[in-house]
Amino acid sequence: MLDMIRQFAGKLSHSEKVALAADLRQMIAEELAAPGGEPATCPHCGCTDLVRRGRDARGAQRYLRGGCARSFTARSRGLLARSKLAASQRVDFAQCLADAPALRECAERCGTCLRTAWSVRHRACEVMASRLEPFRAVGEVQVDGKYFAESPGGNHARPAGHEGAGTFEMPRKRHRSGSDIHVRGLPDLRVCAVTGAGELGDDLAEVCCRGQASEADLLGVLRGRAGLGATAETDGKGEYAGALAALGAAHVTVDAKDRTTDNINVVNSMHSRLGHFMDGFHGVSTKHPRHYLDWFCYGEQFRGSDGDARERIYRHECDGTYQTSRKGYVGMPIPFPRYWELAA
């Protein structure tokens, strides 16, 4: 069969081959996006008492819940449910999620505007977050902090009547070439993300606070993730010792500069990959670091797996759902506003 197809394609002109390739990509994308079976519950109320009720305009099977009297399909409230993009464009977006290019390059590769590319990216990050395995501090784990410069990203000069106009007020003077952030110590203009790497291959990356993390900040992140039976290796910061002792976990202090003893090279290597990942976006807004950290952890979780990353991401998108609307993303407040309230 493949030989017949190759012989047929060899007789086509260049433009016909391009059109055929586009049609094949669309067919493959639609096949991957096909629902895997009947829904188990109603997406509106969660009831399991469902009956079939006709088909929608696309030919998909609709279902009816007797209690709430609302109909739906297997893709209702899913990531692709109301998408107007072609299936082939969604596959291109999946490839961009695998490659992690800057937003402008992503929009050019997928043939969309920046606004659409931005919305699709954040919704996909919600789906990837739902696929993450929970961080389990079993056996020996390494924990450390990674710091990012504050970045109130986005268009802050929106004209009147534009979406988001008048919703943002710059909390500080604008930096020039980033020189103002390079000061000694850990100023509150940096955001701390607690990171961890365990024996089971699971990773932790969660925004914690501004500046130096306190014992209370670390407890808020590590509670439920580290406890009895775990041994955490950290650097010499005393806040880790207090937080881990309160959780009942053993603590081992490691000198990162001493090459003759064990060190926290696993989590430091993770920091290197995380820094390279973030640098590719040319500044991530401080309002949305959680999505990008989830995106990074998703890639780390499947880093050593076989198979096509694009196909895996696209399948997860087809089965995934998101909760936050675009307006919710745009109007999301800057985290940890207490610093700016005190500085005002």
Question: What is the full DSSP assignment across 5-43?
Answer: HHHHHHTS-HHHHHHHHHHHHHHHHHHHHS--S--SS-T
**3-state SS class at 141:** strand
Query: Domain total for the chain?
Result: 1
67 within domain boundaries: yes
CB 130 within 8 A of CB 320: yes
256 within domain boundaries: no
**3-state SS class at 101:** coil
CB 79 within 8 A of CB 87: no
**3-state SS class at 142:** strand
Residue 233 carries which DSSP code?
A: E
| Alpha-carbon distance values, 93 to 36, 124, 188, 277 (Å) | 21, 9, 35, 17
63 within domain boundaries: yes
60 within domain boundaries: yes
Q: What are phi and psi of 97, to 5 degrees?
A: -65, -30
Q: Which residues contact 29 (CB under 8 A, 6 or more apart)?
A: 86, 87, 88, 90, 91, 314
58 within domain boundaries: yes
Start-to-end CA distance of the chain, whole Å, equals 72
**3-state SS class at 319:** helix
CA distance 112 to 10: 32
Instruction: Report pLDDT for 260.
Output: 60
pLDDT digits (tens, 9 = 90+) for 210-246: 888 888 988 888 888 887 778 888 887 778 888 888 8
pLDDT digits (tens, 9 = 90+) for 25-39: 666 665 555 555 566
**What are the per-10-residue average pLDDT scores of the chain (344 residues)?**
71 74 64 57 67 69 69 66 78 91 93 92 90 81 86 58 54 55 60 85 86 87 81 82 86 73 79 92 86 92 82 82 80 71 53
The whole domain housing 49 covers 41-76
CA distance 214 to 313: 36
CA distance 19 to 282: 35
- How long a stretch of residues is the chain? 344
Question: How remote is the C-alpha of 308 from its chain's centroid?
Answer: 19
Largest CA distance in the chain: 73
CB 144 within 8 A of CB 264: yes
CB 141 within 8 A of CB 331: no
317 within domain boundaries: no
Side-chain-facing half-sphere of 264: CA atoms under 13 Å: 27
CA distance 290 to 292: 6
32 within domain boundaries: no
55 within domain boundaries: yes
Instruction: Report pLDDT for 100.
Output: 93
What totals of helices (H) and strands (E) does the chain contain, helices first? 12, 8
CB 72 within 8 A of CB 98: no
Question: How remote is the C-alpha of 312 from its chain's centroid?
Answer: 15
CA distance 208 to 290: 10
CB 40 within 8 A of CB 49: no
Instruction: Enter the pTM of the model.
Output: 0.77
Q: In what order do the strands lie in the sheet with 203-210?
A: 203-210, 190-198, 139-149, 230-234, 250-253
* Residue showing tokens 């807004």: 285
